[in-house]
Amino acid sequence: MTRRILVVHAHPDPTSFSHGLFDLVIRVCGEVGNEIRVHDLYESGFSPVVSANEWSLRGAAPSTKPHLASYFDDVAWCDTLVFVYPTWWSGQPAVLKAWIDRVLANGVAWNLDETTGQVMPTLRNVTRIVVVTTHGRSKSANLLCGRAGRTVVVRSIRRLCSWRCRTHWLALYSVDRSTRFERDRFKQRVERILRRIS
């Protein structure tokens, strides 16, 4: 089955291990014939700043934010979301958190029921979410800190998607002390999961 995959990447250093994982994701997804669109947030200069004007339009229709139209279109187009990023301070880098805040917006990923105040999910097109991330600390240390970044994806974003949506959390812990063997083994795991879902 050919998938429509949106890859969202956040790391400022093109020589980093995280960027290498991003390159791996693009290569593997392309090899199996999927359609791919990419949001490389640092490369494209995506702004983490929500302006006062954009904030005033937070509940308005997506058409009031033409500067984000291509991002909105890609989210509506895809059936698979792949996030590639390092975990910093237990969560996503600021630029990726801003992408979540600004792109998964009212009228794009959800609608607000004016009567009940309930959020009504609209990302029914998304049936897979894959996170490829690294952590400086151990898995047990991340558990103690509450795994905020994981919660954002598997509880909040996942809730906006199809009821059939499956999440794949692929994390390399203690990356700063990892060996080349451990990093290679993690890359093999990422490739295996990507090939399985395609």
Alpha helices in the chain (DSSP H): 17-31, 41-44, 52-56, 69-77, 94-103, 139-145, 148-151, 158-159, 180-197
90 Cβ neighbours under 8 A, 6+ residues apart: 142, 145, 146, 147, 148, 149
| 105 touches 75 (CB < 8 A) | no
Domain range holding 67?
4-197
Residue 57 pLDDT level (bands cut at 50, 70, 90): confident
pLDDT digits (tens, 9 = 90+) for 30-51: 988 899 999 999 999 999 998 8
Percent of the chain with pLDDT over 90: 79
How many structural domains does the chain have? 1
- Global confidence as pTM: 0.94
